[in-house]
Amino acid sequence: MLKPLKHSLLALGLVFTSGAIADEVKVAVAANFTAPIQAIAPEFEKATGHKLVASFGATGQIYAQIKNGAPFDVFLSADDNTPAKLESEGDIVPGSRFTYAIGSLVLWSADASYLDGSDAALKAGQFKHLSIANPKAAPYGLAATQVLDKLGLTEAVKSKLVEGQNITQAHQFVSTGNAELGFVALSQVYKDGQVTSGSAWIVPDAMYDPIKQDAVILKQGANNPAAAALVEYLKGPEAAKVIKSFGYKL
């Protein structure tokens, strides 16, 4: 049995409606979407009266958790392949799969003067460590390897790669100075139209396969009103505003 993912309770407390406890939705969330769901959760709870409990991890890790019986109602993936696979395996509510965001990849350094908005520092290779997420488990890690291939740098940086289990760990390697730069999700370093810290090169979309992030209601959430409410909320204008503010496309 795999170890459970780290849980983060996003609700402030129990919400009572008509004398009854509101429904709770347990959501497995791809690590790149941590900040957006934390921003969305209180607004969702306020609007619906339901409680949201989120767990975060790499998409591949979450898939394994689901297949091993983890009690999730909704899955917000970092790709579209994994939800499609779960659909083909009969693990989701039919017709519930939809794309809630399209992610962007960024090369980021915690040093505000390290990157000049281009790939020059990456090509120069004057760094000791380059952080990426595990490409076998994290779609953003796979996208990073595609960029390196396109630039012809795969062999040149092979010995310098520091691999995180998920995109959160890949970001931590850079933010703590254990790697001078790394490929992370734009949403981790971007808010309201600008990179919030350090320096960055926002990788052109054409350099990697589109990171279509799909959501599904899992079989456990089939009869959970909170699960259905969350999916509808994610399709609405208030959630869209938050998602776009973190650099995602819709």
How confident is the model over 199-224, as pLDDT tens digits?
999 999 999 999 999 999 999 999 99
**d(Cα 121, Cα 142) in Å, to the nearest integer?**
21
**Residues that constitute the known binding site for molybdate:** 59, 167
**Residues that constitute the known binding site:** 59, 167
Confidence of residue 14 (pLDDT cuts 50, 70, 90): very low
Q: Where in the chain is the domain with CATH 3.40.190.10?
A: 7-102+211-245, 105-202
**d(Cα 214, Cα 102) in Å, to the nearest integer?**
9
Say which CATH superfamily domain 105-202 falls into: Periplasmic binding protein-like II (3.40.190.10)
**118-128: average pLDDT:** 97
Of 1-10, 71-80, 187-196, where does mean pLDDT reach its minimum? 1-10
CATH of domain 7-102+211-245: 3.40.190.10
